[in-house]
Amino acid sequence: MARKKKTDWSKDVFKVLKKADVQQIAYVPDAGHTSLIKMAIADNVIKPVSLTSEQEGVAVLSGAWLGGEAGALLMQSSGVGNVINMLGMANECRFPLLMLVTMRGEWGEFNPWQVPMGQATEGVLEASGVIVHRVDEPSEIAETVEAAAKLAFEGGRMVAVLIGQRVVGFKDWTK
Amino acid sequence: MVSKKSKTWHWSQDVHQLFKKIGIKQVAYVPDGGLAKLLERCQADKSMRSVVLTTEEEGVAQMAGAWLGGQRGVLLTQSGGVGNCINMLSMMQECRIPLLSLVSMRGEWGETFPWQVPMGQSTIPALEAAKVIVHHVDQAEKVPETVQAAAKLAFDANRAVAVVISQRISGSGSKG
Amino acid sequence: MAARRKITLDRRKVVANILKDRGDLLLVTGLGAPTWDAASVEDNPNNFYLWGGMGGAVLTGLGLALAQPQRRVLVLTGDGEMLMGVGGLATVAVQKPSNLAIGILDNQRYGETGMQETHTEHGVDLAAMASGAGFQTTSTVYNAAELKTAIPMLYNTPGPVFVDVKVTAEDQPMILPPRDGPTLKHRFRENLLGSI
């Protein structure tokens, strides 16, 4: 049941990204983004960019915008902790930036090392000048991403959609 | 030692002496103008190992390793570098590993490079979000005592602490 | 670009082999599978397991190696984790720590997030990157014979040493070591230094 929900919202989010004319999707893989990444790779138009570290994604998408293309950055909340300096460039130059962040360390988290960054994500993004939209209901994700994309590409801002850990589910170690 | 009243006094000489006194053995850094004099003293000091990093988060990890091995270290960075460390700092938080860092500010006072301003302005909030205790100092004569207090908090009370040294002191980036 | 050869080594067997005669080796493991692999051999107080701080394993090893020059330090980590901190190879190479060795368990996958391909699946050669950074001793291992040659290098060759061991991407049983950060830190230091 939970898996069906996950794929559904990914499909809807992908449609939204296509409609917003996103042509580059940069990512460090996260379980929550698996479907979205697969769809990006399979798509004929979208260029998927696999990063070694999330800050590369901020730079790539800034370059994409310079070249006339809209993009999205997919990452886990811990990755947000790697982008803060690079965000200074997007901030300074008023580059649009759309980030989809799957949350850890906040709902049923099993790994204590995820908790500090999970708890710090929202605050640190806002301190960096990023507008944050939180979403915890699968049915609301697509419309939130649509709104965020508008704010980013037409409003010219850095926007992050935080997809709650409640949505993605937590790993079951008892298998 | 040169007295504070002397024209040639620089806070780096007192801080370097303090480092020796408290047994700092590893100095990790990405070079910065504001910390250059301190760095030169540490690099010249054979009792310390100075490690040049390709990016600041390496230094956070290195400080963890040093502590595991029984040595004290210090991380020297510019404010921009703080933005590279936020995820790695969660390891210090989770494991309660001491961290002493000196952060030289840009984008804060008389800055002439606009691109430095966003990260300069978010340095302290970002550190605090990462649960690093911040001591901001904007008078040169107060730097040594602040570093001393920070070192106690770090190594005796097992915390992550950043001494944020104002651009007002270093004057970096405010010419041209 | 790295030549494509068949990958057949089982990661658990590789790690069991590497740690078989570990003596008083100090071990730092990168997050995810390398941590489970080490735990599958034994939970040893000379192990510091990273459950986070992706990209930080090698530099944690460096700090430890510099602090304990008389002890051999091994970092065992994955290709994805190494890539996230790949600049660290330059940092380490410049410091020339003779007691530090790095072993990569390279399954060419991000194991904790759905087995997505990493850059090594697409030809990125980590041993070549280490060599380019200045490591004098590097090796890429594909089979048991090559592993047999490489293991003594991890323990005895003056460092820094870099060995990239290609392993299959097969699922392995989850074996979890302690995860509590302060506990791991305390027991490592107590065991090593006699104090926390």
For residue B149, the domain's CATH number is: 3.40.50.970
Q: Which of A55, A62, A80, A84 to mutate to test the interface with B (most CBs of B within 10 A)?
A: A84
Of A84, B84, B158, the residue nearest C181 (C-alpha): B158
Comparing CB atoms, the residue among A29, A82, A117 nearest residue C113 is: A29
* B53 within some domain: yes
Phi, psi of A160 (to 5 degrees): -120, 130
pLDDT band at A1 (very low <50, low <70, confident <90, very high): very low
pLDDT (tens digit per residue) in B33-49: 899 999 999 999 999 99
HSE toward the beta carbon, residue C156, CA cutoff 13 A: 6
Domain count, chain B: 1
Work out the average pLDDT over B150-165.
96
DSSP calls for chain A:
-HHHHHHHHHHHHHHHHHHTTEEEEEE---GGGHHHHHHHHH-SS-EEEE-SSHHHHHHHHHHHHHTT-EEEEEEEHHHHTTTHHHHHHHHHHT--EEEEEE--SSSS---GGGHHHHHHHHHHHHHTT-EEEEE--HHHHHHHHHHHHHHHHTTT-EEEEEE-HHHH----TT-
Contact status of C77 with chain B (Cβ, < 8 Å): no
- Residue ranges, chain C, pLDDT below 50: 1
DSSP alpha helix (H) spans, C9-125? 11-19, 33-41, 57-67, 79-84, 88-95
Distance CA C189, CA C126 (A): 31
Q: What is the dihedral of CA C42, C47, C51, C56, to 10 degrees?
A: -140
pLDDT (tens digit per residue) in C165-178: 999 999 899 899 99
Please tell me the predicted confidence (pLDDT) of residue C144. 97
- Put simply, the answer to whether B51 touches C192 (Cβ < 8 Å) is no
- Given a cut of 90, whether residue B174 has pLDDT beyond it is no
Work out the average pLDDT over B46-68.
96
Distance CA C131, CA A61 (A): 31
Higher-confidence residue of B5 and C63: namely C63
B112 touches B174 (CB < 8 A) = yes
- Put simply, the answer to whether C181 touches B91 (Cβ < 8 Å) is yes
- Given a cut of 70, whether residue A171 has pLDDT beyond it is no
**pTM across the whole model:** 0.89
Contact status of C114 with chain A (Cβ, < 8 Å): yes
Domain C11-193 adopts which CATH fold? Rossmann fold (3.40.50)
Q: List CB contacts (< 8 A) between C180 and chain A.
A: 112
Distance CA B39, CA C21 (A): 41
- Given a cut of 70, whether residue A7 has pLDDT beyond it is no
HSE toward the beta carbon, residue C29, CA cutoff 13 A: 28
Distance CA A72, CA A64 (A): 10
Of B160, B102, B154, B101, the residue nearest B130 (C-alpha): B160
Q: List CB contacts (< 8 A) between B119 and chain A.
A: 84-85, 87-88, 128
ipTM above 0.90, yes or no: no
* Strand-by-strand arrangement of the A158-163 sheet: A47-50, A22-27, A70-76, A97-102, A158-163, A131-135
Contact status of B30 with chain C (Cβ, < 8 Å): no
Q: Which helix (H) or strand (E) holds B164?
A: strand B160-165
User: pLDDT exceeding 70 applies to what percent of chain B?
Assistant: 98
pLDDT (tens digit per residue) in A110-144: 999 999 999 999 999 999 999 999 999 999 999 99
Structure tokens, A33: 């983004």
Q: List CB contacts (< 8 A) between B84 and chain C.
A: none
Q: Which helix (H) or strand (E) holds B77?
A: strand B72-78
Instruction: Report the neighbours of A using a cutoff of 3 or more CB pairs below 8 angstroms.
Output: B, C
- Domain ranges in chain C are 11-193
pLDDT (tens digit per residue) in A72-105: 999 999 999 999 999 998 998 889 999 999 999 9
Structure tokens, A139: 């049915």
Q: Which domain holds residue B84?
A: 11-170
Distance CA A85, CA B107 (A): 13
C46 touches B50 (CB < 8 A) = no
pLDDT (tens digit per residue) in C125-178: 999 999 999 999 999 999 999 999 999 999 999 999 999 999 999 989 989 999
* B4 within some domain: no
SS3 B107: coil
Of B80, B35, B86, B32, the residue nearest B57 (C-alpha): B86
Q: Does domain A2-168 have CATH number 1.10.10.10?
A: no
- Put simply, the answer to whether B57 touches A123 (Cβ < 8 Å) is no
> For the ranges A122-136, B6-20, B103-117, which has the lowest average pLDDT?
B103-117
* Pairing state between β C73-78 and C100-106: parallel
- Domain ranges in chain A are 2-168
Residue showing tokens 């008078």: B139
Cross-strand bridge partners of residue B136: B164
* B160 within some domain: yes
